[in-house]
């Protein structure tokens, strides 16, 4: 077992391709892709299974929030690369107190309520600590909005994955078309501009480029080309 695992932290604006890049990167390197969003789904599942009142959680009722925070904190959340018997289309295996909940947390009942749990500051603080624990036990690729400075500030490779606005609009339209949605380019552009403004001006955990991050503009590069360039940087760093 190595003394220190290799951590790759990736932040970036919406539609820059960081989700797809992170998954492919983890697959090529044989690293664990840490789905930070899944931890919020697990917390939501915990709330549902223990009959918490989501109306009270939505209003951040103190007693309800404290009770759920304590329950999430004492729960064990794990992630690992799927074993042979678990290869059923999942990207990673997610466990709750040893139980495989990889598909249970994807249920629509969980999806419809996860936003309520995800916005609770106390829950976010607990889950960041759990994400850090997961990253300390394996070579990982983790992406999000605050990974390079809040979740994995000491990662060996920190990346701010970027692309031009035109490129991000094009990618977002392709993504939506792939889902069968017909969209208007002007509306997509407006949506991305609004999301950028929101992400960069949040009171907590805003999107920003840290001094120690590699600002990687992937405009004009395919996903595979982007992944290959990152692997080159990983190889260089691991040889140091």
Where do the structural domains in the chain lie, given as residue ranges? 1-31+142-240, 32-138
Whole-number pLDDT of residue 182 = 85
Q: Strands of 77-80's sheet, edge to edge? A: 77-80, 93-96, 99-100
Is-contact 18 143, C-beta < 8 A? Answer: yes
Task: Report pLDDT for 91.
Answer: 86
Torsion sign across C-alpha atoms 183, 191, 120, 35: positive
3-state helix, strand, coil in the chain (%, to 5): 50, 15, 35
Do the two domains 1-31+142-240 and 32-138 of this chain adopt the same fold?
Answer: yes
Look at the domain 1-31+142-240 and name its fold: Rossmann fold (3.40.50)
Residue 178, pLDDT score: 87
| Residues in a beta bridge with 141 | 8, 33
pLDDT, residue 2, reads 56
DSSP 8-class letter at 111 = H
Burial 123-152 (b: 16+ CB within 10 A, else e): bbebbbebbbebbeebbbbbbbbbbbbbbb
pLDDT at 1: 41
7-11 β-sheet, strand order: 32-34, 140-144, 7-11, 157-162, 214-217
Q: Report CA dihedral (117, 120, 122, 126) to the nearest 10 degrees.
A: 40
pLDDT by residue for the chain (240 residues), tens digit each? Answer: 455 899 999 999 999 999 899 999 999 999 999 989 899 999 999 999 999 999 999 999 999 999 999 999 999 999 998 999 999 988 899 999 999 999 999 999 999 999 999 889 999 999 999 999 999 999 999 998 899 999 999 999 999 999 999 999 999 999 889 888 888 999 999 999 998 998 898 877 889 999 999 999 999 999 999 999 999 999 999 887
Distance (Å, whole) CA 114 – CA 110: 6
pLDDT of residue 198: 87
Which CATH number does 32-138 carry?
A: 3.40.50.300
Distance CA 238, CA 180 (A): 42
For residue 19, give both structure tokens: 């989700």
Cβ atoms < 10 Å from Cβ of 48: 16
């Amino acid at each position: 077992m190595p003394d220190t695992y290799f951590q790759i932290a990736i932040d970036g604006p919406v539609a820059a391709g960081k989700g797809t890049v992170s998954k492919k990167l983890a697959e090529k390197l044989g690293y664990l892709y840490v789905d930070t969003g899944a931890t919020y789904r697990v917390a939501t599942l915990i709330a549902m299974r223990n009959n918490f009142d989501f109306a009270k959680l939505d209003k951040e009722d103190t007693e309800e929030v404290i009770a759920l925070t304590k329950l999430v904190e004492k729960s064990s959340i794990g992630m690992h690369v799927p074993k042979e018997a678990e290869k059923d289309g999942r990207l990673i295996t997610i466990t709750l107190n040893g139980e495989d909940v990889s598909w249970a947390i994807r249920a629509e009942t969980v999806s419809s309520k996860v936003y309520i749990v995800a916005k609770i500051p106390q829950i976010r603080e607990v889950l960041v600590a759990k994400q850090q624990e997961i990253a300390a036990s394996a070579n990982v690729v983790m992406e999000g909005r605050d990974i390079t400075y809040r979740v994995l500030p000491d990662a060996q490779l920190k990346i701010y994955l970027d692309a031009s606005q035109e490129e991000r609009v094009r990618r977002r339209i392709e993504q939506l078309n792939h889902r069968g949605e017909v969209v208007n380019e002007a509306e997509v552009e407006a949506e991305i501009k609004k999301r950028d403004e929101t992400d960069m001006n949040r009171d907590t955990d805003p999107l920003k480029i840290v001094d120690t991050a590699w600002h990687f503009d992937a405009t004009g590069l395919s996903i595979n080309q982007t992944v290959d360039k990152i692997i080159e940087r990983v190889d260089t760093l691991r040889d140091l």
